[in-house]
Amino acid sequence: MDNLLVAKNVSKSFGDFKALNDVSIEVPKGSIFGLLGPNGAGKTTLIRIINQITAPDTGSVYLDGEPLKPHHIQNIGYLPEERGLYKSMKVGEQLLYLAQLKGLSRPEAKKRLAIWFERLEIGDWWNKKIQELSKGMAQKIQFVVTVLHEPKLLIFDEPFSGFDPINANLIKDEILKLRDDGATVIFSTHRMESVEEMCDHIALIHQSNKILDGPLIDIKRQYKSNRFEVGFVTDQKETAAAALAEKFAITPANFRTINEELKFKVQLPSDASPNDLLSYLTNLGQVTHFVEMIPSASEIFIETVKNN
C-alpha cells in the first residue's frame, strides 16, 4: 500500500523518562489514521516529531518517501491540542500572516480565506480581534489556519474539544471532505465514538510503546470473540434455557425488543460456526434476534490497555 507518512523505530527520551520506545507507524495515503492512547502515552511527542518541533533520539520519519526535511512543514497542517492565537491581532490579518508563514502568497491566501469564511459561515469576523471571539469561534479560526495551505498531511490533536455538537459535526464533515479531496489525516483523540465513525486505520500507543495497529476492520475481526446475542420466543422457557445451556456457554443479555423473548449472550466454541448455533436455536423456538457481537473501538482500547 502507498503510505504518505512512515515512522520507523522512533524513540525519544526526556531525561530519564522514555516518551517513545521504538514506535513505528505507517499512515496510508488518503486515510484517516487514529492515533489512540491514554493520557501521557506519547501521542503528542510523536506528533511533535512529525511536525519537526522536536527531533527523535533514534529512528526516522519519511513523508511521501523522503526523509523529513524542514521544507516539508509546508505540506503539513497541525492543529495542536493546546489551542491559541495572537489575542490582540485581527482575525483576517492573523490568518494572512500564518498562511504566509506556511508559504502561501498573500493574494492566494486571501482568495482561499474568502472561500473558507463562507464555508464555515464566519464571513463577518475578518476585522474582529481574537480576544473578542468565544472559544468555539476561535477554534474555527484555528481550524482554518490548519487547513488553509492545503497540506497533504493534516494532524488534528483532539479536534472536537471546545465545540458544541453542531459545530463539531460541521468540523467532522469538513475533515471527511478534506480526506475525500485527497488529504491524509492523522487524528489523535480520546473520543472513541469519533474514532468509530471516522478512522480507517488506528494505532494504539500505551506507555511509550505501540501495542496495536492496523485497519480498524481488521482489528475488530481480530478482537471478535465469537459471541452472539440471541433472542427467541418459546412457551417452555425453562427447558429451552436449560437445553441451550447444556450445549453452549451462555449469560443473560439485555436488549430491546418488542416480543417476550428469552435473551442470551452465547459464546461459541472456536470450532463451531454461527450456523450451528442458529440451527440449534430454531429447534428451541422462534428466533427473532441473532447478532454477532463486534467489539467497539472503545472496548478494544480498554481491553488492550488493561492487558498490557
Partner 1 sequence: MNHLSLIIKREYLTKVKNKSFIIMTFLSPLIMVGLISLVAYLSQLNNDTVRTISVLDESGLFLDQFEDNDNLKFQVLTDVSLDDAKLTAENGEVYGLLFIPKTNKIDDLSKSITFYSEDSPSLTVMSGIERRLESKANSLKLKEEGLDSELIRNLRLDIDTQLESFKGEETSKMGSVLKLIFGGLAGYLLFMFIIIYGNMIMRSVIEEKTSRIIEVIISSVKPMKLLLGKIIGTSLAGVSQFLVWVILLSVLSSVVFLIFGIDPAAMQAEQMNNAVEATGGNMDGMVTEVMAEFSKLPILNLIIMFLFFFIGGYLLYASLYAAIGAAVDSETDTQQFMLPILLPLILAVYVGFFTVIEDPHGTVSQVFSFIPFTSPVVMLMRIPFGVPIWQQILSVVILFATFMGTVWFASKIYRVGILMYGKKPTYKELIKWLKY
Torsion, Cα 6 9 14 19, to 10 degrees, reads 80
Which of 65/107 has CB closer to partner 1? 107
Which of 5/300 has CB closer to partner 1? 5
Closest approach of partner 1 to the CB of residue 261, in Å: 54
User: 3-class secondary structure for 164-209?
Assistant: CHHHHHHHHHHHHHHHHCCCEEEEECCCHHHHHHHCCEEEEEECCE
Which residues fall within 8 angstroms of residue 141, CB to CB, at 6 or more apart?
A: 85, 91, 94, 95, 122, 125, 130, 133
Closest approach of partner 1 to the CB of residue 231, in Å: 51
Helix H or strand E encompassing 23:
strand 17-28
Closest approach of partner 1 to the CB of residue 205, in Å: 17
Q: Judging by DSSP bridges, how do beta strands 201-206 and 32-36 pair with one another?
A: parallel
Which residue is associated with the grid cell 487524528?
A: 187
What number of other Cβ atoms are within 10 A of residue 273's Cβ? 10
Which of 47/204 has CB closer to partner 1? 47
Which of 82/260 has CB closer to partner 1? 82
Which of 97/280 has CB closer to partner 1? 97
Closest approach of partner 1 to the CB of residue 216, in Å: 27
Which of 101/217 has CB closer to partner 1? 101
Closest approach of partner 1 to the CB of residue 143, in Å: 12
Q: What three-state secondary structure class fits 259?
A: coil
Find out whether 292 and 228 touch, Cβ atoms under 8 Å.
yes
Give residues in contact with partner 1 (CB under 8 A): 14-15, 48, 51-55, 70, 73, 76, 78, 80, 82-89, 97-98, 100-102, 106, 142, 145
Torsional class of 41: left (φ above 0), alpha (ψ -120 to 50), beta (otherwise): alpha
Which of 127/169 has CB closer to partner 1? 127
Closest approach of partner 1 to the CB of residue 10, in Å: 14
Q: Calculate the alpha carbon distances from 5 to 2, 67, 163, 204 in Å.
A: 9, 10, 28, 17
Closest approach of partner 1 to the CB of residue 164, in Å: 21
